Structure 1
Amino acid sequence: MRQLLSALSYFSIFFAPFILPVIIWILCREDAYVAMHSKRALLSHILPFVAALPLLVLTFGADNPGSVLGYIILFIIIYFGTVIYNIVKGVQVLREYA
């Protein structure tokens, strides 16, 4: 059950990126293993949105469209990198005790 909850925290990037890791973290605080993975998953879900904040600033205040396009490409790389990270970590957690 521990592995399933931990992996579900990572896989929730597809259906409930913020809500599910927070709920799992709150409900499973006494289990350090699940709490650690749910916090890591939550941080990896927040990263693309933190990376998008400069994109919003650049979009409204940039005179050079090339800088905006470059940052959009960087944001796409960051976003897909975190999705791949969450998939890999979820599978690793599931295979850890198999």
Structure 2
Amino acid sequence: MRQLLSALSYFSIFFAPFLFPLIVWIATQDRYIAMHSKRALVSHIVPFAAAIPLLILTFGADNPGSVFGYIVLFIIIYFGTFIYNIVKGIQVLREYA
């Protein structure tokens, strides 16, 4: 059950990116599950934190090249964290197998 809740915290990128890891982190007494749910929550927040400068650049930039470059950087960050969550979820499931 520990591995399942921990892995679901990472896999929640598909169905409830912020809500599920936050609920698991608050509700659990187990340090192992809390550690993984906190890591999953942070990894779900990173792409959205990277989007804040993108919004600021979009409205205040005179150079469209800089906006395009930041959009590419945002896409790389987003897909990197997406792949990270999938890999970590599989690793947690395989830990005790």
Instruction: Report the TM-score when normalising by structure 1.
Output: 0.98
**Quick one: which amino acid aligns to residue 15 of structure 1?**
F
What is the aligned partner in structure 1 of residue 34 from structure 2?
35
**Quick one: which amino acid aligns to residue 9 of structure 1?**
S
What is the aligned partner in structure 1 of residue 83 from structure 2?
84
Distance in 2 of aligned mates of 1:79 and 1:48: 5
What is the aligned partner in structure 1 of residue 16 from structure 2?
16
Distance in 2 of aligned mates of 1:73 and 1:26: 35
**Quick one: which amino acid aligns to residue 13 of structure 1?**
I
Structure 1: state its 5+ residue gaps.
none
Written as runs of structure 1 = structure 2, the 5 A alignment for 1:56-75 is 56-75=55-74
Q: CA deviation at 1:76?
A: 0.1
Two-structure CA RMSD over aligned residues (Å):
0.4
Q: CA deviation at 1:16?
A: 0.2
Q: CA deviation at 1:79?
A: 0.1
Distance in 2 of aligned mates of 1:20 and 1:46: 13
Instruction: Report the TM-score when normalising by structure 2.
Output: 0.99
Distance in 1 of aligned mates of 2:14 and 2:52: 21
What is the aligned partner in structure 2 of residue 3 from structure 1?
3
Deviation digits for residues 52-85 of structure 1 (CA, Å, limit 9, x no counterpart)? 0000000000000000000000000000000000
**Quick one: which amino acid aligns to residue 76 of structure 2?**
I
Q: CA deviation at 1:27?
A: 1.2
Deviation digits for residues 5-40 of structure 1 (CA, Å, limit 9, x no counterpart)? 000000001110000001111111x20000000000
